[in-house]
Amino acid sequence: MIPLLSHHPRAIERMFTRIADRYDLLNRILTVGLDRIWRQKAVECLPPDGRLVVDIGVGTGDFAFYALQRYPQLFVLGVDLSEKMLRKSRAKLNSCRYFGLLADALNLPLRDQCADAVLCGFTVRNFENLHRGLSEMARILKPGGRALILEFAPVSPAWHRSLYGLLVRYGVPLVGRLFSEAMAYRYLSLSIKQMEPPDGVTKALIDAGFRSVSYGVLAFGFVVCFLAIR
């Protein structure tokens, strides 16, 4: 557990590779299907004339799917540490407008100011270094480019006593034990507990080079959608 809680990239990659086959199913169960609605609403904030979007921590491709569906001119580059997750995303999207790239979000092999937007769904809390990961997002965005970040970032310190908090603390590891890797979903609940609150993430985004940051609260204050403008 220590390498996971320190967010070591190799440990994170191994964990997501192990749960890749059941990742979508578990997401649907654990969010009661709401994660799809959150992603659909979030992509409405993408620049309507954008051409290239980089999806960091693309996973099985849900965020990219809704972006490609809404914007027919868009090309999405999905980045992930796990080759197995990338294979899942390629199979799901099956589009000439999508390309999957095996890479670390903290060291993107992309040129400066190449992207119109960045998507990042439930990945920021896994960064080994938050400032470096957010700085990489800012680096690859064109001036005026947008970063859309969905993350478990509880607004209240007392989140763990809420209904959602109890689900995360007890339900998530239980479901993980029944359907997949118990250790991975134990990590999920602990990583949420370690996550910066929304105001802390906002400050980190400004420090990383974004000029404007706003956020909206979802799931009774348990999930936050950040919109950061370069």
Distance CA 210, CA 77 (A): 21
What is the rounded average pLDDT of the residues 36-50?
94
Residue 185 scores a pLDDT above 80 = no
What is the rounded average pLDDT of the residues 221-230?
91
Average the pLDDT over each of 6-15, 40-49, 91-100, 146-155 and give the range with the smallest value: 6-15
What is the rounded average pLDDT of the residues 168-194?
68
What is the rounded average pLDDT of the residues 73-78?
97
Show the tokens assigned to 213. Answer: 């940051």
Whether residue 183 contacts residue 1, with contact meaning beta carbons closer than 8 Å, is answered with yes
Residue 133 scores a pLDDT above 90 = yes
The pTM of this model reads 0.90
What is the rounded average pLDDT of the residues 24-34?
75
Q: Sign of dihedral through CA atoms 49, 76, 95, 61?
A: negative
Q: Helix, strand or coil for residue 43?
A: helix
Show the tokens assigned to 35. Answer: 């994660």
Residue 151 scores a pLDDT above 80 = yes
Residue 166: count of CB within 10 angstroms of its CB: 12
Q: Is pLDDT larger for residue 31 or for residue 85?
A: 85
pLDDT of residue 153: 75
How do strand 75-80 and strand 223-229 relate by DSSP bridges?
A: unpaired
Measuring CA to CA, which residue among 109, 115, 102 is closest to residue 147?
A: 115
2-11 pLDDT, tens digit per residue, is: 455 566 788 8
What is the rounded average pLDDT of the residues 177-204?
78
Residue 183 makes CB contacts below 8 A (sequence gap 6+) with 1, 4, 15, 176
Q: What is the mean pLDDT of the chain?
A: 87
Residue 56 makes CB contacts below 8 A (sequence gap 6+) with 79, 105, 108, 118, 119, 120, 123, 133, 137
Residue 162 scores a pLDDT above 70 = no
pLDDT of residue 155: 65
Residue 1 — pLDDT band, cuts 50, 70, 90? very low
Q: Is pLDDT larger for residue 169 or for residue 116?
A: 116
One-letter amino acid for residue 105 of the chain: A
Residue 175 scores a pLDDT above 50 = yes
